[in-house]
Structure 1
Amino acid sequence: MTIRRAALALPLAFALALPVAAQEPAPETGDAPLVEASYATALIRDVLAAVNHGNWTGNYTVLRDYAAPDFAAANDPTRLAGLFTAIRAERLDLLQAMVVDPVILQTDLSDSGQEMRLTGYVPLQPRHVSFDLVLGREGRRWLLLGISVGAFAPIEP
């Protein structure tokens, strides 16, 4: 799996970095999840909370400093503020994501077990929030290497 270690601006989406708690990866056996669901949920909420704080204050220093060193070096707070301009202008409130369970569509773990990717969305109203997070293991922690966050119209059941 190839993973970029910098923020990428996408239409209605933005790149950031995230910490993930240390956990030994589960062996790949049939339908066994690569990452325990409640742990993945905690990681997703942790990152979205940092993005939300940056969006409301306009200050992305904590988000940058919370990420892996490579991410921090590639993304100063001014660059991150620029990448999140559209979400900030939309006044997308990510606080709801702290109480609504995310729908995790895909989890990937690198062959070395040192990088993880979590992709999915949080079914919020009036708009769902998509996320694509890339994390790298550093010691006993997972740190953000890349992030994409965006909003889209709710999916009909």
Structure 2
Amino acid sequence: MICATPLSETGPRALSRVLVLSLALIGAGAQAQEASTPVTEPDTVPLIEPSYATALIRDVLAAVNHGNCTGNYTVLRDHAAPDFALANDPTRLAGLFTTLRTERLDLLQAMVVDPVILQGDLSPSGQELRLTGYVPLQPRHVSFDLVFGQEGRRWLLLGISVGAFDPIEPPPAE
């Protein structure tokens, strides 16, 4: 499914004027199985370490950037989960990322600027991870919504949404 809709409100910030490019796998969540690891607190599920989440985000954005620069998205596809690769050949990915290439969005800056993670969700089974947020770059911020599936000890890309938006002014302090 391809979606080009702006992200709705996320926490206290509204990400307006977002150009979003989405790739989703049909039934990505249907594959997850319940883990038998007990949770120490009844209503909390441990999330991955923040620096590792940052590394995952940067890894995906680097692959998108390389694809944008070369027009070849083979590395992004081959670095993702097998179901993602089957659903998205390099030609399809190139077509879906046309807007980002046309805007000449430089994602290299995202390798040195810490992303702002607005939401990080780990599925109850611990097999899927969703990271949503943005990288505060100039002249435009880069939004991301990434879904990963755990395969062995690795997190592999299941779904991706990347876009750009003008920086949002913080609300005035009261």
- Give the match for residue 15 of structure 1: 22
The structure-2 alpha-carbon separation of the partners of 1:125 and 1:33, relative to structure 1 and needing over 3 Å to count, comes to farther
Q: Is the 8 A contact 1:137 1:143 kept in 2?
A: yes
Letter in 1 for 2:56: L
Pick the structure with greater CA Rg.
2
- How many angstroms does 1:33 deviate by? 6.2
1:116-151 deviations in Å (ceiling 9; x for gaps)? 000000000000000000000001101000000000
Q: Is the 8 A contact 2:118 2:132 kept in 1?
A: yes
Give the TM-score, by structure 1 length: 0.84
Ranges of 4+ aligned residues in structure 1 off by more than 6 Å: 30-33
SS of match in other structure, 2:55? helix
1:66 and 2:79 correspond: yes
Distance (Å, rounded) in 2 between the aligned partners of 1:114 and 1:31: 15
Question: Which structure is richer in relative contact order (CA contacts within 8 A, separation 6 or more)?
Answer: 1
- How many angstroms does 1:81 deviate by? 0.6
Q: Is the 8 A contact 1:8 1:148 kept in 2?
A: no
Structure 2: which 5+ runs fail to align? 6-18, 25-36
- How many angstroms does 1:9 deviate by? 3.6
Give the TM-score, by structure 2 length: 0.76
Distance (Å, rounded) in 2 between the aligned partners of 1:33 and 1:140: 16
Distance (Å, rounded) in 2 between the aligned partners of 1:43 and 1:35: 11
- Give the match for residue 96 of structure 1: 109
Q: Is the 8 A contact 1:9 1:83 kept in 2?
A: no
The structure-2 alpha-carbon separation of the partners of 1:16 and 1:54, relative to structure 1 and needing over 3 Å to count, comes to farther
